Amino acid sequence: MSSPLWITDPHLNFVSDGRRSELLQEIHDWSPSAVLIGGDIAEATSFDRYLREFATELDCPICFVLGNHDYYHGTIPQVRQSARQLMQEWPQLRWLPESGPVPLSDGSLLVGHGGWGDARAGDFDTSTILLNDYLAIQDLRSAQLEELLNREANSDPRSVLNDWLRERLRQLGDDAATSLRSQVSNALAQAESVTVLMHVPPFREACWYAGKTSDDNWAPHFVCQAAGVVLRELMSAAPDQHMTVLCGHCHGEGTVDILPNLRVLTGAAEYGAPAIQTLWPDVT
Q: How many residues contact Fe ion, by CB under 5 A?
A: 5
Q: Tell whether residue 113 is a contact of Fe ion (CB under 5 A).
A: no
Q: Which of 80, 113, 249, 263 binds Fe ion (CB under 5 A)?
A: 249
Pick the piece of the chain touching Fe ion (CB under 5 A) from 9-17, 169-177, 202-210, 234-242.
Answer: 9-17
Interaction of residue 267 with Fe ion, rule CB under 5 A: no
- Alpha-helical (H) ranges within 31-162 are 47-57, 76-89, 96-99, 133-136, 143-151
Contact 54, 21 (CB under 8 A): no
Cα distances from 39 to residues 63, 150, 198, 238, in angstroms, run 10, 32, 8, 28
Min. distance of Cβ 117 from Fe ion in angstroms? 8
As a whole number of angstroms, the distance between CA 265 and CA 284 comes to 16
Task: Measure the CA–CA gap between 123 and 131, rounded to whole angstroms.
Answer: 15
Q: Do the beta carbons of residue 70 and residue 79 sit within 8 Å?
A: yes
Does the protein bind Fe ion through residue 70 (CB under 5 A)?
Answer: no
Nearer Cβ to Fe ion (101/173): 173
**CB of 113 or CB of 249, closer to Fe ion:** 249
Looking at the DSSP bridge assignments, the partners of residue 212 are 209
Q: Is 40 a residue that touches Fe ion (CB under 5 A)? A: yes
**Could you tell me which stretch among 17-25, 66-74, 89-97, 106-114 binds Fe ion (CB under 5 A)?**
66-74
Q: What is the DSSP string of 33-48?
A: S-EEE-S--S-TTTHH
Of the candidate residues 42, 68, 230, 231, the single one contacting Fe ion (CB under 5 A):
68
- The stretch among 50-58, 78-86, 149-157, 247-255 that binds Fe ion (CB under 5 A) is 247-255
What does the DSSP 8-state code read for residue 91? T
Which is nearer to Fe ion, 9 or 253 (by Cβ)?
A: 9
Q: Which residue number, 80 or 242, has a Cβ lying nearer to Fe ion?
A: 80
Report the nearest approach of Fe ion to the CB of residue 91 (Å): 27
Find, among 133, 132, 39, 130, the residue nearest to 80 by Cα.
39
State the nearest-atom distance from the C-beta of 164 to Fe ion, in Å. Answer: 22
Query: Angle of helix 47-57 relative to helix 76-89, nearest 10 degrees?
Result: 20
253 counts as binding Fe ion under rule CB under 5 A: no
Binding mask 190-229 for Fe ion (x = CB under 5 A): ----------------------------------------
Backbone angles phi, psi at 243, to 5 degrees: -130, 135
67 binds Fe ion (CB under 5 A): yes
Phi then psi for 235, rounded to 5 degrees? -80, -25
277 binds Fe ion, rule: CB under 5 A: no
Task: List residues near Fe ion by CB under 5 A.
Answer: 9, 40, 67-68, 249
